[in-house]
Amino acid sequence: MAALLAAALLYVAFRGVNWREALATAQQARLECLALAACVGSGSYCVRGLRWRVLLSAEKPVARVNAFWATMTGYLGNNFLPARAGEIIRSVAIGQVAGISTSFALATALTERMLDAITLVLIGLAAILTLPGLPDWLLSAVRIMGIVALAGLVMALAATRLESLLKRILLCLPLPGSWHARLAGILEQFLMGMRAFQHPGRALSFVTFSAVIWLADASATMIAARAMSLTLSLPQAFLLLAAMGLASAAPSTPGYVGIYQFVAVTVLPPFGFSRSEALAYMIVAQVITYIIVTVWGLLGLWRLRASEVRRAEPITGARVERTR
């Protein structure tokens, strides 16, 4: 299903593209600007690790470096494995190295993703309202999405206080018993993650880190565009990020191939990009992201594995001593 969707979106994205123009746009990219964009992007990933650590600390303290390495192994998994398997990978990784329950780690990861989706809708709404010349239907659609996002945020924050009611509603649904059990497990994970967020200090830290993350991502987006002599304003960059983030929720191939190309040729042309320039920009941006995530992710796998081995060594040594 994901492969078929990606193929269809790639067909739409590639249709009518002047490949000579796209190649010329990519070839003129200045390496120093791309390197700067990569550094800013790496900084954003570091802050993502710190933000996840805020939620993880609800169970027990986690070293900053371990949260970062686990985060990067998760992104590495998402880039090369289907079905967002990276969320499970990073949850298992942090559970092993920090002694945290894997189910709790996964619950916080899912909570983080849900809050990001709501944030992206609100960012997209704010960006669109500052951009002139957009069609009325788009403005109306985004306003509706903003209202839905705000309602979703309120419901998510109130969900932990309505746990018993939600479980009763779940039992009333005309579904097979196995479905009830599965949905109950999902609800438990969601509520577990939301409880970690509802501490005032953790919530404030989470919101602050989120603001830094999205500002850094928007800056990297603008720098990468400037590298190819293209121009993106801050609202335009935020709108592109919001569209990419929300589109990634659809079934997609690893690395969101097809999804992001379609978003680029849909969102960027109204801002003066040709389809060829938009496609060239997105391909270059994805290559940079792949390089960043692959380097940090592989290094994270190695570091986490080394940490796990070091934690196991004293136990092994003690067992050997006892046998003597």
Output the pLDDT for position 1. 67
User: Which structure tokens are listed for 219?
Assistant: 């800056």
Rounded Cα–Cα distance for residues 285 and 41 (Å):
11
Q: What is the 3-state secondary structure (H, E, C) of the chain?
A: CHHHHHHHHHHHHHCCCCHHHHHHHHHCCCHHHHHHHHHHHHHHHHHHHHHHHHHHCCCCCCCHHHHHHHHHHHHHHHHHCCCCCHHHHHHHHHHHHHCCCHHHHHHHHHHHHHHHHHHHHHHHHHHHHHCCCCCHHHHHHHHHHHHHHHHHHHHHHHHHHHHHHHHHHHHHCCCCHHHHHHHHHHHHHHHHHHHHHCCHHHHHHHHHHHHHHHHHHHHHHHHHHHHCCCCCCHHHHHHHHHHHHHHCCCCCCHHHCCHHHHHHHHHCHHHCCCHHHHHHHHHHHHHHHHHHHHHHHHHHHHHHHHHHHHHHHHHHHHHHHHHC
Q: What are phi and psi of 223, to 5 degrees?
A: -65, -45
| Digitized pLDDT (tens) for each residue of the chain, 324 residues in all | 677 888 888 899 999 899 999 999 999 999 999 999 999 999 999 999 999 999 999 888 999 999 999 999 999 999 988 778 899 999 999 999 999 888 889 889 988 988 898 888 888 888 888 887 666 766 676 777 778 777 877 877 787 788 788 888 877 888 777 777 877 777 777 777 788 887 888 989 999 999 999 999 999 999 999 999 999 999 999 999 988 888 877 766 777 888 999 999 998 998 999 999 999 999 999 999 999 999 999 999 999 988 877 776 655 454 445 445
Q: Which pLDDT value is given to residue 320?
A: 47
Model-level pTM?
0.87
pLDDT for res 38: 97
Q: Which pLDDT does position 126 carry in this prediction?
A: 87
Query: Looking at residue 319, what is its pLDDT?
Result: 47
Per-residue confidence (pLDDT) for residue 313, from 0 to 100:
66
Backbone Cα Rg of the chain: 22
- In this structure, are residues 292 and 228 in contact, taking their beta carbons and an 8 Å threshold? no
